[in-house]
């Protein structure tokens, strides 16, 4: 079990829902605040951005040499200053939703540590980055680590490293394809990761729609991270795999429903107790029975309501003698049976 912003995450707790804004708001602060408001209104536990400092996470000349210059340009256009981080975090606080972000460099981690985020998300591309993992762990904050594009052997090696350097962490089952299709998923991996790490495992979802997230919850996902937008018509590379507010609300409501119906409950519901009284059967006479006569299959049956000798003990009563004469169609009570 881990804890984020006083919310416990793990077995027997409602799945923790993270609305992943990422770079969908680009660097438009006003738009980003609308994302926060909509995510909070939909019931998300956290709203997550990405903390980029292009020159500290990429070598521009090398990115361009391999044909990835557009990636550099996109990231450079999506940077937030520390003051803008604070402003977004404060806005999230005012709307009662936790502010999180994914850093992609040590300098970005410094920003998140400075504003005191309650946890640090590590993307799949950084899962094997020992330098970044150790630096993030040194903040003492819980780490939320995605596992996409990594083999089980690689995940096991990273978990062994995290066991040494991190105070606590959670994993996310993830398939790093955009968009992910149903054929790409193997949700039994959630259980595999739980056994490897002995820690809560979530699902970072890059598919369209909400179905995969719900299936993941049904397979034990303790957290759901889902790309989120207020309108898929907005520009940005992740809009296609993002859900809109109504869909986010659907996931949040499902998470609550799943938790409410999956936890062990002691005893019967009050309404069940009331229904049980009339819905179950008692032992009933089919004819007049004289005092001292034995109860038999011929002179008894079972009928509603269940206010007398219970039908589940019917064969215990057969052969016992009655203590008084009993009319036909009488519900038998303990007083009618010779307890000797």
Instruction: Round the average pLDDT of the chain to a whole number and report it.
Output: 94
Write out the residue limits of the CATH 3.90.1210.10 domain(s) in the chain: 270-336
Superfamily classification of domain 12-262: Aldolase class I (3.20.20.70)
- 339 vs 7, residue with greater confidence: 7
Of 40-54, 231-245, 266-280, 283-297, the range with the lowest mean pLDDT is 266-280
Percent of the chain with pLDDT over 70: 99
Percent of the chain with pLDDT over 90: 87
Tokens of 202: 């979530």
Q: What is the pLDDT of residue 214?
A: 97
Around Cβ 110, how many Cβ atoms within 10 Å?
Answer: 17
Predicted confidence band of residue 269 (pLDDT cuts 50, 70, 90): confident
Of 125-134, 155-164, 213-222, 271-280, the range with the lowest mean pLDDT is 271-280
Whole-number Å distance between alpha carbons of 240 and 235: 10
pLDDT tens across 147-168, in order? 999 999 999 999 999 999 999 9
Whole-number Å distance between alpha carbons of 226 and 209: 10
Is pTM, for the whole model, over 0.85? no
Quickly list DSSP for 208-262. SSSHHHHHHHHTT-SEEEEEB-S-TTSSSTTGGGPBPHHHHHHHHHHHHHHHHHH
Q: What is the pLDDT of residue 87?
A: 98
Write out the residue limits of the CATH 3.20.20.70 domain(s) in the chain: 12-262
Assigned CATH topology for domain 270-336: Type Iii Antifreeze Protein Isoform Hplc 12 (3.90.1210)
Q: How far from each other are the two terminal CA atoms of the chain, in whole angstroms?
A: 56
Tokens of 322: 């009655």
Question: If 0-12 CB within 10 Å is exposed, 13-18 middle and 19+ buried, where does residue 283 land?
Answer: buried
pLDDT tens across 51-81, in order? 999 999 999 999 999 999 999 999 999 999 9
């Amino acid at each position: 079990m881990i804890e984020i912003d006083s919310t416990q995450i793990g077995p027997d707790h409602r799945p923790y829902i993270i609305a992943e804004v990422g770079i969908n708001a680009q660097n438009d602060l006003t738009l980003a605040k609308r994302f926060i408001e909509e995510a909070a209104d939909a019931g998300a536990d956290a709203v997550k951005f990405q903390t980029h400092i292009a020159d500290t996470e990429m070598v521009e000349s090398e990115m361009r040499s391999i044909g990835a210059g557009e990636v550099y340009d996109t990231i450079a256009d999506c940077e937030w200053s520390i003051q803008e981080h604070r402003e977004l975090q404060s806005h999230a606080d005012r709307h009662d939703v936790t502010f999180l972000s994914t850093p992609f460099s040590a300098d970005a981690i410094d920003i998140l540590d400075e504003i005191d985020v309650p946890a640090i998300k590590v993307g799949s591309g950084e899962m094997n980055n020992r330098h970044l993992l150790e630096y993030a762990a040194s903040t003492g904050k819980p780490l939320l680590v995605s596992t996409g594009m990594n083999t089980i052997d690689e995940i096991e090696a990273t978990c062994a490293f995290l066991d040494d350097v991190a105070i606590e962490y959670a994993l996310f089952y993830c398939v790093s394809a955009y968009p992910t299709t149903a054929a790409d998923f193997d949700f039994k991996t959630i259980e595999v990761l739980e056994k490897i790490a002995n820690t809560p495992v979530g699902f970072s979802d890059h598919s369209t729609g909400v179905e995969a997230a719900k299936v993941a919850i049904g397979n034990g996902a303790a957290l759901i991270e889902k790309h989120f937008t207020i309108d898929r018509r907005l520009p940005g590379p992740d809009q296609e795999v993002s859900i809109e507010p109504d869909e986010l609300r659907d996931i949040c409501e499902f998470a609550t429903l799943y938790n409410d119906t999956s936890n062990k409950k002691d005893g019967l519901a009050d309404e069940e107790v009331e229904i049980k009284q009339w819905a179950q059967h008692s032992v009933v006479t089919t004819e007049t029975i004289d005092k001292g006569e034995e109860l038999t299959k011929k002179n008894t049956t079972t009928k509603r309501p269940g206010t007398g000798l219970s039908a589940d003990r019917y064969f215990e009563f057969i052969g016992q003698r009655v203590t008084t004469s009993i009319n036909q169609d009488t519900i038998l009570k303990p007083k009618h049976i010779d307890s000797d």
